[in-house]
Structure 1
């Protein structure tokens, strides 16, 4: 249940980013749902691999290269989907930061609503 609520709220956050920032465009809520799913899969599957592969650059940049990785994944997701468009790398960077901040807020709110279950 928590996963479905988080998915829908993050799709809404993506729509909010598209409304606030003109560099990110979404056609409708179903496009936002698909984009949020693809972004979640990219962050779960590809992001750890990219972090390991770019570890020296990330250490030299004091972690700032992680923003570049996240922006590239955001941009790649927009390239794969029809109803989701990002106008360039700068738009991907700004959009990914906004989307990430909103999803962090959503995560913390959901932790209050759905506390972790203890195993006895």
Structure 2
């Protein structure tokens, strides 16, 4: 049940960010839920592989390269989902940063298991 609530909260955050950021577009509520699901799957499967492959760069940059990996995950979701659009890398970087902040706030309101 907690997973479904987290997906719905992420979908709300995606939809709100798409309304306010000029380079991000979501065609509707269902697309926002699909984006949240795809982001969860990509963060579960692809992100650990990318983190492992880029570990030396991540160590050298003291973890800041993880922001680039998050932007790459957003761009991958853009490639997979037809109703979701991100205009470029810098918009994806800003979107991923703001989405992480929104998720932190919303998930802290949700509480722990």
Same fold (TM over 0.5): yes
Judge conservation of contact 1:6–1:107 (CA < 8 Å) in 2.
yes
Normalised TM-score (structure 2): 0.96
- In the TM superposition, residue 17 of structure 1 has moved relative to its aligned partner by 0.7
CA RMSD of aligned residues (A): 0.9
CA distance in 1: counterparts of 2:67 and 2:78, whole angstroms: 17
2:79 aligned with 1:89: no
1:85-110 residue CA offsets vs partner (Å, 9 max, x unmatched): 00010110011111111111122111
- In the TM superposition, residue 79 of structure 1 has moved relative to its aligned partner by 1.1
Name 2:102's counterpart in structure 1. Answer: 102
Classify the secondary structure of the residue corresponding to 2:25.
strand
Name 2:26's counterpart in structure 1. Answer: 26
Larger Rg: 1
Classify the secondary structure of the residue corresponding to 1:25.
strand
Normalised TM-score (structure 1): 0.90
CA distance in 2: counterparts of 1:57 and 1:5, whole angstroms: 34
Equivalent pairs counted in the alignment come to: 113
CA distance in 2: counterparts of 1:69 and 1:9, whole angstroms: 22
Alignment of 1:1-120 (within 5 A): 1-111=1-111, 115-116=112-113
- In the TM superposition, residue 44 of structure 1 has moved relative to its aligned partner by 1.2
CA distance in 1: counterparts of 2:17 and 2:89, whole angstroms: 15
